[in-house]
Chains A and B, each alone.
Chain A
C-alpha cells in the first residue's frame, strides 16, 4: 500500500523550454537504467528475499525510486510545457511529438520504449542483489553523461541530487549482501538458493 504526498522529493522549477534536454533526460524515466526500471526491479525482487530486513530495504528504495521517476517526469513536463511545433522540429523532438505531443511516455533517449526486459527478478538473492549494485552504477553513469552535456543549472541541480542517491543506494545494497551472507555458511555461500530451497534456510532473528 502506498500513500501519496503532494510534493516532489527534490524541488523542480525549470523556466526555459528545451525539448532537446527533455529528449535526453527521458532516458532516466523509461530507459534501460532509468528510475522506472529501478523501482520495478526492487519492488519485484523483494517478495522472495530470504532476509526480512533486505525485503524491507528493497521496499524503501523501490519507493524512493518512484519519487525519482516523478522528479524526472516533472522535469520533462516543465521543459516542454510551452513547446511550439517549430521548436519541436529544430530540437530533434519532432519524432516524439508526432506520437505523444507533450504527453509524458516512458522511453529511452534512443526512443526505445520502456520494457521489463531491462531488469531481472531472478529468485536468487545473490544474483538479484548483484544486479541491484550494477543497476545503481549504471544509473550513476547515465547521470554523469547527462551532467557532461547539460548546462542549465535549473536542470543540473535535480540531476546532481539524483546521482548522489545512486551512490547511497549502492552502499545500502552492499550492506544487504553482507546481511545476507551473515545468514549463510561462509564456507560456501552458493550451497543452496535460500529463496527456493527454503527448507535449508532459517533466518536468525
Chain B
C-alpha cells in the first residue's frame, strides 16, 4: 500500500482498480461498548449524524473505553459458583460473542496478528464457559450444548427457553 501511495495515480498497479488501505489495529473497545457501537474498532466507528445524542457520538478513540488484554476481567465474577439471573449471563454472552464476531472478520484478513489472536483466544474461552453456564443453570443455547444439559433426564432440554424473537433474551 505504501508503495502504491508513493507512486500515486499513474501506474497500472493503481489505475482502474480499487484500493482500500489495510486496517492497522490500534486498540479495541471493551465488549459492552463494542456491542453498543456495532464494532470493536474505534477507527471503524463512523456514526451517522442523525443519531441519538446520548450514544455513538465519538468517532475517535476514547482511551478509557479501550481495552487491554485484561478487559475480560469484568466478567470474572460470572465464573464463580454464585447464582446469577439468566439476563446477566445472557448480557455477558451477547457482549463477548459480538466481540468475537468482529475479531473473527478482522483475523480473516489479518491472520498473522498474534496479539489479536491472543485476545480472540481469551474471549473465546470465556464464551465457552458462559455457554456452559447457560446450559447448566438455564437451558442450552445450541444443539452442541445439549450433551451435558441437566434437563435431559426427564425431557429434551433443547425445547426449553424463550425463542429469540420474543424479546425475552435480555
Contacts and interface: CB of A to CB of B under 8 A. Distances in A.
Nearest to B3: A186
B38 A160 contact: yes
Given A53-B111, A178-B19, A187-B12, A168 B41 contact: yes
B47 A164 contact: yes
A175 B38 contact: no
Contacts of A162: 38
A7 B169 contact: yes
A189 B142 contact: no
Which of the four size classes fits the interface of chain A? Answer: 35 or more
Contacts of B5: none
B39 A70 contact: no
Which of the four size classes fits the interface of chain B? Answer: 35 or more
Contacts of A130: 18
Interface stretch (A20-28, A55-63, A95-103, A112-120): A55-63
Interface string A136-157: 0000000110011000010010
B64 interface: no
A172 B18 contact: no
Contacts of B1: 178
Please classify the interface of chain B as helix (H, G, I), strand (E, B), loop, or mixed, using the class held by over half of its residues: loop
Contacts of B164: 6-8, 70, 74
A81 B48 CA distance: 30
A147 B50 contact: yes
Please classify the interface of chain A as helix (H, G, I), strand (E, B), loop, or mixed, using the class held by over half of its residues: helix
Contacts of A61: 105
A186 B12 contact: yes
Contacts of B38: 160-165, 168
A12 interface: yes
A122 interface: no
Contact of A4 (B45, B52, B142): B142
| Nearest 4 pairs of A and B residues by beta carbon | A174-B20, A164-B38, A74-B165, A11-B170
21 contacts: A5-B142, A6-B141, A6-B164, A10-B94, A10-B98, A13-B167, A60-B108, A64-B101, A73-B165, A161-B36, A164-B38, A164-B39, A164-B47, A174-B20, A175-B23, A176-B109, A177-B17, A177-B20, A178-B22, A181-B17, A187-B12
Interface of B: 1, 12-13, 16-23, 35-39, 41, 44-48, 50-52, 55-56, 90, 93-94, 97-98, 101-102, 104-106, 108-111, 139-144, 161, 163-165, 167, 169-170
